[in-house]
Amino acid sequence: MDNLHRRPFTGTVEAPGFAVRVLDLPAQFYVPCDQPPGSIAGADTYTLWLAPDLALQVGGAPPEGFVSDMADGLVVFELSGPRAADVLAMGSTVALTPGQCVRTLFGGVRVIMYLHGAAMRLHAERQFAAFLLQWFQTAASALPQGQVP
Amino acid sequence: MTARRLPQGGRIDRTAPLAFTWQGGKLSGFAGDTLASALLANGVSTIGRSFKYHRPRGIFAAWVDEPNAILDVSRGDWHDPNARATTLALRDGMAASGVNARPDVDHDIYRHIDQLQQFLPAGFYYKTFFPNWHRFEPRIRAMAGLGTLRAIADARHFETRMRTVDVLVAGGGPAGLAAALAAASAGLSVLLADDRFAPGGSLLWDDASIDGAPGDAWAADAVARLRALGAAVLPATTVFGVYDHNTFALVERRAEAPAGWGEDRVWTVRAKQAVLAAGAFERPLVFPHNDRPGTMLASAALQYLRQYGVLVGENIIVTANNDSAYATAIALRRAGAAVSVCDVRATLPHAAQAAQEAGVRVLAGSVVLDSIAGGSGISMADLGPADATSRRFARQRVQADAILVSGGWSPAVHLHSQAGGKLRWDTQAVAFLPVQAQPHQHLAGAMAGTATLHETLHSGHAAGVAAATSLGARATATAPHALPAHPAAPVQAYWKVPIKSARQWLDLQNDVTVKDVALAAREGYTSVEHLKRYTTLGMATDQGKTSNVNGLALLAEATGREIPQVGTTTFRPPYVPVTLGAIAGMRHGALYAPWRRLPAHDEHVSMDADIREYGGWFRPACYPHAGETAAQAIQREASEARRACGLFDGSSLGKIVVHGPDAAEFLNLLYYNELASLKPGRLRYVLLLRETGVVYDDGVVARLAPDRYLLSPSSSHTAGVLALLEAWRQTEYPHLRVALHDTTAAWATFAVSGPRSREVLAPLTTIDLSPEALPHMAFAEGRILGVAGRIARVSFTGERSYELSVPSGYGASLWAALREAGAPFGICPYGIESLSVLRAEKGYILIGTDTDGMTLPDDLGMSGPLRAKKVDFTGKRSLLTPDALRPDRRQFVGLLPLDPTQVPAVGAHAVEIRDGKRRSRGWVTSACHSPALGRSIALGMIERGRELAAAGAEVELFHLGALMKAKLVSPVFVDPAGERLHG
């Protein structure tokens, strides 16, 4: 019998001034945390503060110690475009600032959110990925169809 | 009322006519009209029937305080059965009609109810129909109420918006604009919400000059300046609720929305500072028959004139106790109406002089004693002394087609009160005013008690500066300036005409009169909260904006108390009605809740699984074949799992990893069962208790390594168990070196169960599945079809079972592979309903189904750990209380119906007759037809159940009037020796 094959969650949303890509990030680990609440540490490989004593490392190799591999557990949505902020405002009160991450509810789903370059990233547990993708598709239809700001 | 559109004036666009209908008749208005102003402009006088007496009613106010003009309005697919015509922008093609009337408001067949009014006092329903309300309710409900919903689901989505701002300003009148300008000048993020179609508030209709510009021009310029400073200005947006942490709820009523979306949009705004500048409402001055069409608030008449170019009458009487009505009288006189003012004050104020100079007739110490019906409204009015106490008092009958009332002003303290702010009665303002602002909030303008525009502007500016200062910013704007006005003469408290025999209305929407308040007081309803509930005063959709203060003032009068002693009722959100659709936002249909999907969800769908929601997860209940019912599929799947092999998707089972050198000690302190002694590679079934000893969850714990455990809470309890563990870790045991990771999402888990399970799996994995290497309740890691995974030998079916886990990205692939590999052995996918049958046959409990908020471990027959466990654990003390040790507690048992073809209802009570009365001894918690036994079985919690089962006792099960006998037995119906499990 053939070996198992991996099927990452996929999907995209395209709307005037707004796009969502689902990223398959192969390195995501729950790791011990020694950084300030709400902070992002690092650059190419970075850690996001999640809770007391808990962070999410994105990229790189797993560190020593109490580590759980979450690559298959967390789906990453990358939101971009000038109207991404409008969509963000439909799902959360959070005002994102560079260098900070937020663990909050977005559209009723617990996510980890932060700015990543010119885009926004949301990490959500895999079981919610289909719901969130549909949520983004629906929200995109509420955006005005006129000229993109 | 003979209202008409004037040839010029107003803010309407006369180049943009709009067609609409009223009760089927074609009418027209203009862009910029409200539905109410357009109806008035077309001379429509009666727009509804009153709630209780079915009396004709006309438009009374001009904005959210309108009690009468609640109409059924539709346009295309859009329909609002209870639209407030005064706040609804007129649109081309609107169709409006009255509510609470048959066939229409002009020919209402229920109008004769008013003739029975003396038999319909406050409390009529309580006194007449209770305790047999249910007999009368259907008919009464059919007659009562407002509009009727169409039985069509609204398919539209409603957008929600959320924002965090430095300063939220609620209200875009002069105070709000001044506050926003000050805060925005400090460089802060400001959001100004104003419920009118354009900000400006009273500046849009009052004569005003600010900084040398007309009031309305200054308001428009202020909005432009705010936007230039980066502030968000939301017109047509009402702040309707205040919640914890300075969170505000707003509803924005957009003119247009994208296709498929509703116009209403609810905002959730978290504000670091908030300025409440909601203005004030004019109160009615109450007099006999003050509910007739043609009676209107004085300020409303001014708004209809200045905003919409509508003159509300030709012969207008204004009855007032304060100065503000004079400006209205002058404006109406200049617009061409004959106007008289009855001022209840014996000494005329300074404002009366200007009115007289403008041609307004002014009567001191005078009031309207009655209105005389004529046509569809008022034809005459009786004027007389304000202290008249009987109908026989000297009175002067004059022609009148409109009576305008002004009984003083009530600050709109609703938001302040919702935030927990206190109120005080101010005898000079004759109004309730806020005592002081709540933390992080500032009060401005009329709602804070300012009387002149000059004061209002300075109050708003000061509030904006204070908000900025609170955030460490400095406002650079200067206060806008209006010329100080001549001081107003004091308002005279005047709550009703002192004629007892006539009906005088307080609450027009709920038909509450002065007599109702007096009756309530006589019958002992002297608390304002009781008055409200007994008479329904202030309980209508206008929340008593025009009636509350008058009502409680009269309650004070009727009970010989002062108004502060009576107090006010509690203000609660929403300040204005908000549609449920707007509140739900996108949360309907497929987005109703954040449903969770299994990694192999698409595979289950492709198999036509009967997918249902269980604890937030979409899971297969069963997999019906073509032509098979769900019940048949469940029986087949359960049989196949025992006969050959079954395949179950258990990916939703929790997977919490507990890491750390103190993991064993930590878990031992929390779980009912001993876990420190558990050896690596082994599993243990465990209970987790609350401090009360009640069973919160069950599950299996695997020890992966000396410093690492894997907990498997039940699917719907995973988040709760994690939260509970985290709470203990962070508060009681912070010294223990432990980390908790919820890895549920990272793993897909499938159970292969049945006599042939080992044969199916052996070729697929590097893990030795022999009973010696992997006995029941053992655990191993290895490769499964080339992927690192793990297998737990654990069973919820009573058969030999293996739970395979791989990273969830491989879940769909593993599900397909197991089906393929199992095909030669007759593998049968089974759903959660089939699993429920299998576990019931084995007497395995389902938390929340077989247990409830009172179940202790011993009730389930699990007392061993309490006796054997040496260390303390959560809930232990509660298990030693007299109540926990009572011998007559309900205990978990099996039940065999004497008729094996009958399945008892879950929830059926085991009953006995004691002292001539039927009493419950417990109930059925699970029941099904057992394919293994070929008969019905049940599980239940029964008093002294184990003792009775050992004696072979029978019980009577009672459900919906029917009785069924059942024998109490052990809950383990299949393989009590566990041979199939361990084989």
Determine the pLDDT at residue B443: 98
Distance CA B836, CA B547 (A): 58
Residues 23-62, chain A, touching B (beta carbon < 8 A)? 30, 32, 51-54
Q: State the pLDDT confidence band at A61, using cuts at 50, 70 and 90.
A: very high
For the stretch A1-53, pLDDT in tens is: 889 999 999 999 999 999 999 999 999 999 999 899 999 999 999 999 999 99
Does A2 sit within 8 Å of B743, measured CB to CB?
no
Does A66 sit within 8 Å of B739, measured CB to CB?
yes
Residue B742 contacts residue B725 (beta carbons within 8 Å): no
User: To the nearest whole angstrom, how far is the Cα of B330 from the nearest Cα of chain A?
Assistant: 46
Determine the pLDDT at residue B1: 60
Does B739 sit within 8 Å of A53, measured CB to CB?
yes
Task: Give the other-Cβ count within 10 Å of B220's Cβ.
Answer: 17
Give the dihedral sign, CA B330/B332/B334/B339.
Answer: negative
Distance CA B405, CA B412 (A): 19
Residue with tokens 């400095």: B474
Determine the pLDDT at residue B333: 98
Distance CA A62, CA A70 (A): 11
Distance CA B70, CA B82 (A): 5
Question: Which of B258, B730, B817 is nearest residue A145 as measured by Cβ atoms?
Answer: B258
Helix (H) or strand (E) holding B703: strand B695-705
Considering only alpha carbons, which residue of chain A is nearest residue B663? A66
Q: CA angle at residue B887 from B884 to B893, to 5 degrees?
A: 95
In a 3-state reduction of DSSP, which class is residue B356? helix
Fold of B616-652+746-849: Gyrase A; domain 2 (3.30.1360)
Counting beta carbons within 10 angstroms of the beta carbon of residue B883, is it exposed (0 to 12), middle (13 to 18) or buried (19 or more)?
A: exposed
A7 at B interface, C-beta within 8 A: yes
Q: State the pLDDT confidence band at A148, using cuts at 50, 70 and 90.
A: low
Question: What is B160-280+412-470's CATH superfamily?
Answer: FAD/NAD(P)-binding domain (3.50.50.60)
In this prediction the ipTM stands at 0.97
A14 at B interface, C-beta within 8 A: no
CATH architecture of A12-140: 2-Layer Sandwich (3.30)
Name chain B contacts of A64, Cβ cutoff 8 Å. Answer: none
Considering only alpha carbons, which residue of chain B is nearest residue A135? B591
* B865: region left, alpha or beta (phi > 0 left; psi from -120 to 50 alpha): alpha
Residue with tokens 């019905």: B936
Q: CA angle at residue B525 from B520 to B529, to 5 degrees?
A: 110
What does the buried/exposed string (b/e) look like for A50-82 if buried means 16 or more CB atoms within 10 Å of the residue's CB? beebbbbbbeeeeeeebbbbbbbbbbbbbbbbe
Residue with tokens 């209970």: B687
Interface test with B, best of A23, A66, A88, A123 (most B CBs within 10 A): A66
Domain residues of chain B, as ranges?
160-280+412-470, 616-652+746-849, 656-742, 887-982
A64 at B interface, C-beta within 8 A: no
Residue B387 contacts residue B311 (beta carbons within 8 Å): no
Counting beta carbons within 10 angstroms of the beta carbon of residue A97, is it exposed (0 to 12), middle (13 to 18) or buried (19 or more)?
A: exposed
Domain residues of chain A, as ranges?
12-140
**pLDDT beneath 70, residues of chain B:** 1, 391
In a 3-state reduction of DSSP, which class is residue A18? strand
Considering only alpha carbons, which residue of chain A is nearest residue B163? A93
A10 at B interface, C-beta within 8 A: no
CATH of B887-982, one of 2.40.30.110, 3.40.109.10, 3.55.50.30, 2.30.30.40: 2.40.30.110
Counting beta carbons within 10 angstroms of the beta carbon of residue B486, is it exposed (0 to 12), middle (13 to 18) or buried (19 or more)?
A: exposed
**Local structure of residue B256 (DSSP, 8 states):** -
Strand partners for B742: B656
**Local structure of residue B798 (DSSP, 8 states):** S
For the stretch B539-589, pLDDT in tens is: 999 989 999 999 999 999 999 999 999 988 889 999 999 999 999 999 988
Does B599 sit within 8 Å of A4, measured CB to CB?
no
For the stretch B380-396, pLDDT in tens is: 999 999 988 776 777 89
User: To the nearest whole angstrom, how far is the Cα of B160 from the nearest Cα of chain A?
Assistant: 5
- Taking the CA of residue B839 as centre, how many other CA atoms within 13 Å lie in the half-sphere pointing to its CB? 17
Domain spanning B656-742: CATH 3.40.50.300: no
Does B786 sit within 8 Å of A70, measured CB to CB?
no
Determine the pLDDT at residue A149: 47
